[in-house]
Amino acid sequence: MKFFCSRDKLIKNLQIAQRAVDAKSQAAVLRNVLMDASGGKLNLVGYDHRMGIRTSIDCQIDTEGSITVPCALLIDILGVMQEEQVYFTLEDSSMKVECGRSKYNLSCISADDFPPFPKIEGKDTFEMEAGVLETGIRQTIFATNPDDHRAFMGGVLLNLEKNEIKFVSTDGHRLAMRKFDVPGGSLPTQKVIIPTRTLNELLRILPDAGEEKVKVTVDVKSISFTLDGVFVTSRLVEAEYPKFEKVIPTRAEGQCRINRTRMMGSVRGASIMARSKENRDLIEINVTDDSIKFTSSTQDVGSASEELEVVKKGKDIRVAFNSKYILDFLGAVEEDEVVFDYTEELDPGLFHTDMPGYTYVLMPIKV
Amino acid sequence: MGRIKALDKLTISKIAAGEVVERPVAVVKELIENALDAGATEIVADIEDGGRKLIRVSDNGTGMSREDAEMCLKSHSTSKLGSIDDLERVHTLGFRGEALHSIGSVSTLTVTTSDNENGEGWRVRMEGGAEKPLEAAARARGSTVEVENLFYNVPARRKFIKSARSEIQAVNSMMSKMIVAYPGVAFTQTHNGSPVFKAAGAADMKERIRYIFGKDIADKVARSDGEMAGMRLEAWFTMPDLAFPNRRYQMFVVNGRVVNDKHLAAAVQVACRGLVPSGRHCMAILFLDAPASDIDPNVHPTKSEVRFLSPHDVHSLVYRTIRGRFTEPGIIEPKEILNPIKERNEPAAAGRPSSQHELNIQVPEKPERSAATESSEVHAHPFDAEAAPRPLTQSVPENRSSIRKTTAENEYREPSRIAGHDFKVLGQFFKTYILIDLDGYPMFIDQHVASERIIYNELRRKTKNSAEQLQLISEPVETPRDVYEILSRNLERAREAGLTIEPFGERAFIIRAVAHSAGPFDPVELLAAIADEIRSAPDKAPENLLTGRLLTVAACRMAVKAGQTLSHSEMDALVERYLKEEFNRTCPHGRPITHKLTREALDVWFKR
């Protein structure tokens, strides 16, 4: 195996593949990245049995072949090198890495020991705009809870119907749902839960994808995405997603409209005085006539009160929420004005904007 | 006339009965074991009034012939043992030949049995020890034993029988063990006519575990088999995914007999070390089959204990079987479980810090220096009004500015009076212990744990009326039967402990709200812990377990560390707050905080 390629491109792509390399794995081969030089391409593969990433760059190949190399080590080495081209030569089980006057030797593990990606069976393949995928993930991912004992909270539900895509997440206290209409679409009917970790990695890769289409393949136990030369495959969360529709309130007895940036400032302010161990970000919201007040207090520390003007319809309300949850919502939307629908003190509150498609349900705290 | 008399036969029987049948549960157990010995595959137990009114156990076992039926009520009569030599090879559950006779002498006992398919059977009766003649009766093959009015003729014993509820609880708990121990046998149990258990026969072990312990445990249970020195072990256990505060979910079945055994419990404990947080226990069911000659079940009349010929082998078999499972790759990932309350407060520079010796040079000569103060350090804060040489503090950076002072040089400090105590801080030793004069006694205080206790109590006080986070999505949580029974009667107390729950179906709860300050938790484990708390202290307000654990960790992090230099004013404040605390004997993890030296202790030391 002998080839050379651009050092910058290699580093960039190794860093992408590295996201699926488990540096702490007990199996040495899983701490490595698979390098496969064939057909003028160098493929780089990271795989930890849960998630796999394959990316490729152009290279000049002298002899084709494949091998696994310690991933973090290789990135470190490439980082200190100076020249543009880097040369690789495999001698026995040792990889010679040369760049300018730098020469390094890395012990390798045979590519035969590297686990293959799972076979895809009974697949449904379709395309999705990168922007849709990115927004859908970004607006829901924060409401998952991978640490919970309930497996379905460990990911975002991707709910596909003919011409509708829904992203849904919940941690038991709140639920975020983003819906996209695909006019004239012919999507397969699917309901899968994608692990939070996979989505986090996708988010890091996606901004580079621009306007492109992402090819999505859904299988019984796995899902894969192909975008901009990067292939990501992931095991699905094996769990039944609860009937989320029934927790979304369908009526409200009051509604207020608030400027989003101002509200963000006020909630942040009030949460400063609720930071203590015992309060854990609890703030109270008090809506009267044409104002909304955010208050908090901690014994021996102090109290806060932030007031904003609102346009209110219907009844007044006094309700307590975890301020972090409200800030998550405010940070996930972009519109200037947000809408808060409420009923009673102990009923779920509904946050949304005038742009249809995004719904955020939040359970209050009983004080 | 002499006062010592030989007891009559009836009295002897009644006394003997007391050993075997202490409570209704013991009767049920004896009868079920008889049914199992008779090879039954279906056993029905009907109990009334906690067993005081009626215990009826029917089976479809081999039954008894007419001759056997006549003999079965005699004292020390058994079909299971021919001579003393057979005792070496006992493989049946019963063998002492005491049970029926004993039960019959303290109740009205009726045995209906048949050993043939013709419906031809016999009935024998015993009333308070008096045998009634045998009658013919129609019955399918098998036996039915009815025990009515247990202890009616032993008022002393009857008085000690607890309420119907606690007796039936004991029966239920014993039955659930039997149900798990004999997956092949169908068990049905009723109490006052309403069904308690209905476990279908020929079940597999997972089904049984699910039936008794609930879905969560059954999902996480793993099996491992081992063999050694002629013994075979089948182990079912949940570690490291789930751990409980006690051994309630551990069960040992030795040659088909449910026993309590310290050796087995200890072996499980050792096997779990490092995988289950210390002080917690995994759920474990062990089935041990050993040659009858290696085991002596005749230790106790109720046969709840066994003696092993070679406890060592048993220990290593259990250890290897359970532990081995976790070294096999790919079966269960043995995640490293750290004790959540593990402390990281090893003093960075315990003992004599070498770097500080140089500072010592700058300190003005002490008028006198005793041997004791040579090895100790006493720090005074530079900004403390009573601190000595000022100029020095200006030349050294703040964090190193504490000055070595000896106790001898320390200016006189007025003792402070707190919570009925006079105290005076004498100094800090090894950057870890504060020495104070408490009402004239020298007392050492561990600065870390004292501070931890203060912070913990403070957090507890503040979180008492904790807010509750309502749940948007609530899934039913299936609990073990005993947990369900207790919690469903104590919903209010569960709420005080941090969980608002509602019963859902016959053994599950829905969690409606969780204490707002709660950390992450496993609901099955937590519900079991709350049930235990209620069980062990029915009248005490339960600790908020949800927040309690979290606060312990928080307090530990926020507390003064060992190895941290404290100024005199800081020490004063710490000791003062500490002495004011109500529960101040141990830190939240149970370590002692103080050590007081008495005159006697010192006298002994100096051999006065």
Query: Which ipTM value was assigned to this complex?
Result: 0.75
With an 8 Å Cβ cutoff, are A365 and B474 in contact? no
pLDDT digits over B542-557, tens only?
Answer: 555 666 666 777 778 7
Could you check whether A124-245 and A248-362 share the same CATH topology?
Answer: yes
- From A187-191, B15-19, B37-41, the region with the lowest mean pLDDT: B15-19
pLDDT at B165 over 50: yes
With an 8 Å Cβ cutoff, are A280 and B471 in contact? no
Q: Is B551 exposed, middle or buried (0-12, 13-18, 19+ CB in 10 A)?
A: buried
pLDDT at B16 over 80: no
Whole-number pLDDT of residue B455: 84
Mean pLDDT over B564-578 rounds to: 86
Q: Which two tokens stand for residue B584?
A: 């101040």
Full set of structural domains in chain B with CATH: 9-202 (3.30.565.10), 206-326 (3.30.230.10), 371-596 (3.30.1540.20)
Query: By a Cβ cutoff of 8 Å, what residues of chain A touch chain B?
Result: 26, 147-150, 170, 172-175, 242, 244, 247, 276-280, 282, 299, 320, 322, 346, 348, 361-367
**Nearest residue of B to residue A322, measured between CA atoms:** B469
CA distance B517 to chain A (A): 6
User: How many angstroms separate the CA atoms of A141 and A332, rounded?
Assistant: 10
CB contacts of A26 in chain B (<8 Å) are 329
Q: Into which CATH architecture does domain A2-113 fall?
A: Roll (3.10)
Whole-number pLDDT of residue A303: 92
CA distance A169 to chain B (A): 11
Q: Is B435 exposed, middle or buried (0-12, 13-18, 19+ CB in 10 A)?
A: buried
CB contacts of B523 in chain A (<8 Å) are 149
CB A250 within 8 A of CB A341: no
Mean pLDDT over B371-387 rounds to: 40
Whole-number pLDDT of residue B12: 65
Instruction: Give Cα separations from B143 to A271, B34, B35, B74, B183 (angstroms).
Output: 72, 10, 8, 17, 21
Which of B474, B516, B551 lies at the smallest CB-CB distance from A365? B516
CA distance A198 to chain B (A): 20
Which of B462, B467, B469 lies at the smallest CB-CB distance from A173? B469
With an 8 Å Cβ cutoff, are A173 and B475 in contact? no
Domain A248-362: which CATH class? alpha beta
B520 vs A: CB within 8 A? yes
B523 vs A: CB within 8 A? yes
pLDDT at B37 over 90: no
With an 8 Å Cβ cutoff, are B462 and A278 in contact? yes
Mean pLDDT over B481-502 rounds to: 83
CA distance A264 to chain B (A): 22
Whole-number pLDDT of residue B519: 66
**How do beta strands B42-48 and B186-191 pair?**
parallel
With an 8 Å Cβ cutoff, are B516 and A364 in contact? no
Domain A124-245: which CATH class? alpha beta
Whole-number pLDDT of residue B124: 87
Whole-number pLDDT of residue A85: 94
User: Pick the residue with more confidence: B537 or A58?
Assistant: A58
With an 8 Å Cβ cutoff, are B474 and A280 in contact? no
**How do beta strands A51-58 and A60-63 pair?**
unpaired
Mean pLDDT over A143-169 rounds to: 92
Domain ranges of chain A: 2-113, 124-245, 248-362
CB contacts of B472 in chain A (<8 Å) are 170, 172-175, 247, 348, 361-363
State the average pLDDT for chain B: 74
SS3 A167: strand
B332 vs A: CB within 8 A? no
CB contacts of B459 in chain A (<8 Å) are 277-278
Report the candidate in A123, A98, A103 with the shortest Cα–Cα distance to residue A5: A98
- From A65-74, B237-246, B471-480, B581-590, the region with the lowest mean pLDDT: B581-590
With an 8 Å Cβ cutoff, are B517 and A277 in contact? yes
CB contacts of A50 in chain B (<8 Å) are none
pLDDT at B581 over 50: yes
CB contacts of A148 in chain B (<8 Å) are 520
User: How many angstroms separate the CA atoms of A317 and A253, rounded?
Assistant: 10
